[in-house]
Amino acid sequence: MADLTPLLAFRWSPRAFDPDAELTGDEASSLLEAARWAPSAGNAQPWRFALGHRQDETWKRILVSLPEHDQRWTRHASALVVGAHTGISPVDTERSAYDLGQAIAHLTVQATALGLHIRQLSHFDRAGLATELDLAAGIRPLVVAAVGRLGDPAALPPDLHARETALRRRHPLAALLLP
């Protein structure tokens, strides 16, 4: 395998987060700043974010929108970040969702640089979260990112522990290259 920059090579998505670790204000700002400086089509910057620190009001509102089976591990993350976009028409939605993905990717790389880990979730009650956060019409939450420091995988429920310690896999590069 070709060498990757360590920031990419060391990134992975855990479920075991340290339930005692807190995200500092500087760390939170650094993550959002990384997202803010992501590229976007026409520099439209169609992304919007909400960040809740564990046990604060925003965090509680985000947590309840997640499936119960994911709340088992997300509740230990130091923070939950909502990634939303502003695309309304079908064309806007496609572009905005693409740009939001880039912003979250930047945030993820910055998290790695800070010694933090992230696991993203796209299965959650989007309408419920928009209501919980009182989002303006046209702001569409697309992803929730759990952010924190690595915890003890042994503390996970057995089904999650098995997934947490499974080998990570990718398609071979040759299978991704178009003819």
Ligand X SMILES: Cc1cc2nc3c(=O)[nH]c(=O)nc-3n(C[C@H](O)[C@H](O)[C@H](O)COP(=O)(O)O)c2cc1C
- Which residue is associated with the tokens 């807190």? 22
By CB under 6 A, is residue 122 in contact with ligand X?
yes
Number of residues that bind ligand X (CB under 6 A): 10
Contact string 142-161 vs ligand X (x = CB under 6 A): -x------------------
Give least dist CB 123 to ligand X, A. 4
User: Could you give the CA distance from residue 168 to residue 13 in angstroms, rounded to a whole number?
Assistant: 10
Nearer to ligand X by Cβ, of 45 and 120: the residue is 120
Closest CA to 74 of 123, 17, 34: 17
Sign, CA dihedral 169-70-53-78, equals negative
Contact string 66-95 vs ligand X (x = CB under 6 A): ----x-------------------------
Nearer to ligand X by Cβ, of 21 and 121: the residue is 121
By CB under 6 A, is residue 168 in contact with ligand X?
yes
CB-count burial class (<10 Å; 0-12, 13-18, 19+) for 78? buried
Give least dist CB 40 to ligand X, A. 17
CA 143 to chain centroid, in Å, comes to 6
User: Could you give the CA distance from residue 117 to residue 113 in angstroms, rounded to a whole number?
Assistant: 10
Q: Which residues bind ligand X (CB under 6 A)?
A: 12-13, 70, 119-123, 143, 168
